[in-house]
Amino acid sequence: MSADTTPPPRHKELLDEWISKNYEEYCDFTDMMHSANGVGFEKVFNFASKLAPGFKKAVECRLKDDRATDFKNLEEILHEAKIGNKLLAGFENPLPDSMIPAMLAWLFRGRSFECMTEMGEELIRGGKLTFLARIVFKFTIKTIIYTSISIEARTEDDWRNFCEEQDELGVVPTVTLKVVKKFKSAVPVTDDNVVTTEKKKPKARIAERKPLKELLTDHTLLELIEERVTVKKRAKDIAMLYIALDKAHVLHSCTIVEFHSALDEAFGEKAGYKKIHVRGVQDAHKTFMSRVQNKLVIDFPENKAELADIRDFLDLPAYATV
């Protein structure tokens, strides 16, 4: 994505409004994009290929060209096809079942850049790519990071935080970390900021994480939570559960990442439980805690009703009224 596709400020406000009014649709889209099988990216790629004739063939050729060092030719194809104008038009006047509103909302208001970067890192680590393909994904990650900064969608500190999050999850984002270390701003990224050495790798940190039972102040909630998460399985459901427990003061201080990890550890082998990528859960939580027209999304009537449903189901303390 190039800077010329960046929506003006008013459109960013409209994206926030769209998310608040179409939250289920937004969550379904982010769930798809965070899927480990890459089905979301395949769908978006096919959609872009329809909007920009010749784009698919150009991408295929780019993947085979061992001399290329950037994506300028691909950006030019998208620019010449006026894809930015088409997307904005598709957002303002969407056709039935159009993916454009959800896609733009995710790109500019969700954790899209982190998700794309993380998937690229995973593909490189996976060992199934050819050497040339790994080189392409290395360039892709760098392009994503610098583009996100150039269009002011992310800051250098955001990418430092991303590296720290990955480290907490037990992953060393090799390409991203090298890019972040080259940032010229005042706070350098060193091995003290982000653990990269073998002796400090996150296995010990993961082992120190508390199980779900220890995160809860009331252990009788375990069975009800298990019943809940085997029925309500989407990223937004996990984020909403975390918020409800926190509001009820029955959850010891922990991050959404730690809570997600504890759920996986507790119920990962249970029938009916669906493991959800942590990035999707983070994205849902970030959206709930974001503001639209100076009001938290979590405080919208439909979300307050969902929190009340969770409170009633888990029989949380009465003072947790939201």
The 10s digit of each residue's pLDDT in 135-183 is 888 989 998 999 888 888 888 999 998 898 888 777 888 999 999 998 8
Q: Which residues share a beta bridge with 296?
A: 291
- Mind listing the pLDDT tens digit for each residue in 221-276? 999 999 998 888 888 899 999 999 988 889 888 889 899 999 999 998 887 888 88
Q: Tell whether the model's pLDDT for residue 192 goes beyond 80.
A: no
What angle, rounded to 10 degrees, do the helices at 301-314 and 221-229 form? 130
Residues in the chain: 322
Strand ranges (E), the chain: 291-292, 295-296
The position carrying tokens 């989407």 is 234
Q: Which residues, other chains included, contact 216 with Cβ-Cβ below 8 Å and sequence gap of 6+?
A: 222, 245, 250, 251, 252
Question: In the numeric block, which tokens belong to residue 272?
Answer: 């009916």
The position carrying tokens 């769908």 is 43
Query: Phi-psi bin for 271: left (phi > 0), alpha (psi -120 to 50), beta?
Result: beta
What angle, rounded to 10 degrees, do the helices at 156-168 and 131-150 form? 130
pLDDT value for 8: 52
Which one has a higher pLDDT value, 130 or 271?
130
CB 246 within 8 A of CB 320: no
CA-based nearest residue to 26, from 133, 123, 100, 134: 100
Q: Which residues, other chains included, contact 21 with Cβ-Cβ below 8 Å and sequence gap of 6+?
A: none
Q: Tell whether the model's pLDDT for residue 203 goes beyond 50.
A: no
pLDDT value for 34: 85
What is the chain's alpha carbon radius of gyration, rounded to the nearest angstrom? 21
Phi then psi dihedrals of residue 291, to 5 deg: -110, 140
Q: Tell whether the model's pLDDT for residue 208 goes beyond 60.
A: no
Which one has a higher pLDDT value, 129 or 144?
144
CB 275 within 8 A of CB 268: yes
Report the share of the chain in percent with pLDDT over 90.
16
d(CA 12, CA 19): 11
Q: Tell whether the model's pLDDT for residue 204 goes beyond 70.
A: no
pLDDT value for 239: 92
The residue type of 194 is: V
The position carrying tokens 């691909």 is 74
Question: In the numeric block, which tokens belong to residue 35?
Answer: 């899927």
Strands 291-292 and 295-296: antiparallel
Report the share of the chain in percent with pLDDT over 70.
87
CA-based nearest residue to 236, from 269, 270, 276: 276
d(CA 73, CA 188): 33
Give the C-alpha distances (Å, rounded to integers) separating 57 from 69, 79, 210.
18, 16, 49
CB 306 within 8 A of CB 238: no
- Mind listing the pLDDT tens digit for each residue in 91-112? 888 888 899 999 999 988 888 9
The position carrying tokens 């790994």 is 134
The position carrying tokens 């063939």 is 57
Q: Tell whether the model's pLDDT for residue 47 goes beyond 70.
A: yes
Q: Which residues, other chains included, contact 217 with Cβ-Cβ below 8 Å and sequence gap of 6+?
A: 249, 250, 251, 252
201: number of CA atoms within 13 Å, CB side?
8
